[in-house]
Amino acid sequence: MNERLLTKFKQDPFANFLDIKIKEVREGYARVEGLVKEDYQNFNQVCHGGFIFTLADVAFSFASNSHNQQAYAVNVSLDLLAGARPGDRLVAEAEEIRIAGRLGFYQMRVWREQTLIARCQAIVYRKDQPVV
């Protein structure tokens, strides 16, 4: 993994604001972790789906840009399978399925311990410009 690229990923302002931690990044793959905080609840006192989506999206962003080629999401589909509560530590993984020309296809999964709570599919458009 390109160290300059990893440093750039670690400077992601939104991921840092939400205290999302990088656990692993390699070409075509990323795993991140985040703690559900009290402020991340919705009015039903469960984790807001936006935080779960964001975890998947951050992993997706790192995996899709891991080739040091700028990649921009054009579609993301999310299935919420179970919930989470404050204090739960969630792990999101993104994996590259295929690159076809300028398009990249990815799948993401979000886990609460051994329970799969979300699954996603996503597509990026890859520009002909480096990230760093």
Domain range summary for the chain, segments of one domain joined by +: 3-126
Helices (H), 1-132: 3-10, 13-17, 49-64
- pTM, rounded to two decimals: 0.95
What region does 119 belong to: left with phi over 0, alpha with psi -120 to 50, or beta?
beta
pLDDT confidence band for 115 (50 / 70 / 90): very high
In this prediction, residue 2 carries a pLDDT of 86
Residue 110 C-beta-side C-alpha neighbours within 13 Å: 32
Read off the pLDDT of each residue in 54-78 and give the average, rounded to a whole number: 98
Q: Are 70 and 132 in contact (CB under 8 A)?
A: no
> 3-126: which CATH topology?
Thiol Ester Dehydrase; Chain A (3.10.129)
Partner residues linked to 7 by β-bridges: none
pLDDT confidence band for 98 (50 / 70 / 90): very high
- Structure token digits, residue 89: 């530590």
**Is pLDDT of 1 > 80?**
no
